[in-house]
Amino acid sequence: MTYGVPDRKRTPVWAIWGAVILTVPMIWIIVSVVDIDALSSTWRAMIAEPWGLLVALAAFAVAFLLRAVAWSRVIPDLSPGHSWAGLHVALAGNHVLPLRLGEPLRVVSVVRRAGTDWGRATASTITLRSADLVAIAAIGVIAGFGAFTAWWAPVAVVVAGIVFAAAGVVWLRRLRDTKPVSLPGPTVVMATLLAWVFEAVVIYQAAHWAGVDLDFSSSLLVTSAAVVAQIAAFAPGGLGTYEAGGVAAMVFVGVDPSVGLAIVLTAHAVKTGYSLLVGTAALFLPSPGMLGRIRLEPQQLPIAQHTSQTDPNGPVVLFMPAHNEAKSVGSVLGRVPTTVADRQVLCLVIDDGSSDGTAEVAEAAGARVLRLGQNRGLGAAVRVGLEESLSHHPVAVAFCDADDEYAPEDLESMVAPILQGRADYVVGSRFQGDIKRMLPHRRLGNVVLTRFLSWVARRPISDGQSGYRAFSPEAAAAAEVIHDFNYAQVLTLDLLAKGMRYEEVPISYSFRTTGESFIKLGRYLRAVVPAVYREVNAR
């Protein structure tokens, strides 16, 4: 099996082009009718009054904090942080994509990041989003029914919202029998209503910058009319429809339409800026991000327990993955010590589909050979080697390459931390030991990749690509190599995430003089980076 880049859902191309096609005419219409002087004076006042801008942004943030609290009350095991992130990811998506296509991101975010199941996430979203629309439309009707050019618009929104909210409540009620779900109560209703009150502060503050003495009741009305019109969000962020509804309400409360448009545009700009900025942050915070984790969790998990019986007098097993190493494998095997720490050494060779007689040379040198039949990759060979080693009930397992780059004489120092009970997983560090020769570009590549691995693993690592490693039986049984191409980074991340005790020991290294390395930088990175991502997100 070949492991590649994990599947990623991509935004459909038609959505991107739709955003462009629908946004351009909206911008042209707005630019053609806006009073540039009124708009520029409003923006100058906003820039000259940073505290007022801060108040508007804070009020808008509080509105979404209240909605996050409401969502957490409906799904008790959904943290306020992840509900906040889901709301803001959707908010940013709606300001980038047309037709309110950002809404599904709200559900996707909490499912992927918080482990909430699709049913609860979808049912609660339908319920609360519908309640949102009912609340704002009802506020608009109460604040000034005549502001709506089509009297039936807010009524239709209220009726549709009630229908969808009722459907969502029925769905939640059915889920409640098997899943932790709470039906919306007074706290949720109050939070939903208050959220719109705080959101109206943005219009109120924008009117202040424009020099218009707009009372708060009128600010609620304008917010309601703009948001109700924004439901028809053909362009990203409801650009155009938001302005049309807001200006209509401005005219109703006696504000000149050119000034009203400047106010509504300013308020919309403030909301858009907040949405893109905070929505981008919400892609990554709180952890795990929308794109998944990029580092291991700080805490260690309990050490995995090995269920098979280990013979306290068992051997130390050294296996060597080998592919077309006939020129070197015999000499390497000849240097393997027969005992270490008074333990017998059992030597295995995992022949990874060699075509040059590697298996025959290894058998002649006294090793037990396991033939894979066809070339499956270094990661697959290591996986098979660990499984085969455990069948011999060892006290420790180690492996090194068969290409004569690593010294089998270092085996005793490799397994010593395991036999002494200090470590479960040992990596031989070339950079702490003796490097007789390493090509400059290989050295640079090793250093860069090792620092990357150390950052991902959240601990000091001096040699992330070493081909000499040792394991306790527990670590060998717990180890998972998730791709066939290679093992280096994913094996370390896997065992560290499982709480295995890690240690490095100095080893000697000399550059190979026979055969050909399988590592080519481009191919290596294309295989390794996605595998590291998958490993970090495996749990």
Separation CA 534–CA 460 (nearest Å): 21
Two tokens, residue 203: 């219009």
**What is the chain's pLDDT, residue by residue, as a tens digit (539 residues)?**
332 333 334 445 555 555 556 666 667 777 777 889 999 999 999 999 999 999 999 999 999 999 999 999 999 999 999 999 999 999 999 998 888 889 999 999 999 899 899 999 999 999 999 999 999 988 887 877 555 555 566 678 888 889 999 999 999 999 988 889 999 999 999 999 999 999 999 999 999 999 999 999 999 999 998 998 888 777 888 889 899 889 989 998 999 999 999 999 999 999 999 999 999 999 999 988 888 888 888 765 555 554 445 677 899 999 999 999 999 999 999 999 999 999 999 999 999 999 999 999 999 999 999 999 899 999 999 999 999 999 999 999 999 999 999 999 999 999 999 999 999 999 999 999 999 888 888 888 899 999 999 999 999 999 999 999 999 999 999 999 988 888 999 999 999 999 999 999 999 998 866 655 555 566 677 777 888 888 888 86
Per-residue model confidence (pLDDT) at position 453: 94
Query: Between helices 80-94 and 103-114, what is the axis angle to 10°?
Result: 150
- Tokens 């060597």 identify what position? 320
Two tokens, residue 525: 């990175």
From residue 494, how far is each of 106, 297, 301, 401 by CA, in Å?
Answer: 31, 12, 11, 21
- Residue 517 φ/ψ, nearest 5 degrees: -70, 145
Separation CA 31–CA 34 (nearest Å): 5
**Shortest CA distance to 71 belongs to which of 125, 152, 1?**
125
Radius of gyration of the chain (CA): 32
Q: What residues contact 102, with CB distance under 8 A and at least 6 apart? A: 89, 90, 91, 92, 93, 94, 95, 96
Separation CA 275–CA 62 (nearest Å): 13
Length of the chain measured in residues: 539
Q: What is the pTM of this model?
A: 0.70
Cis amide prior to 394 (ω within 30 degrees): no
What is the dihedral angle through the alpha carbons of 225, 228, 231, 232, rounded to the nearest 10 degrees?
-50
Backbone dihedral region for residue 240 (phi beyond 0: left; psi -120 to 50: alpha; all else: beta): left
194 neighbors 66 (Cβ within 8 angstroms): yes
Two tokens, residue 192: 């939903």
Where b means 16+ CB within 10 Å and e means fewer, 60-91 reads bebbbbbbbbbbbbbbeebeebbbbbbbbbbb
Per-residue model confidence (pLDDT) at position 23: 65
Per-residue model confidence (pLDDT) at position 1: 30
**Shortest CA distance to 487 belongs to which of 427, 442, 441?**
427
Separation CA 320–CA 315 (nearest Å): 16
Domain 316-536 falls under CATH 3.90.550.10:
yes
**Shortest CA distance to 70 belongs to which of 113, 118, 143, 130?**
130
Which residue ranges make up each domain of the chain? 50-282, 316-536
- Tokens 């039936």 identify what position? 152
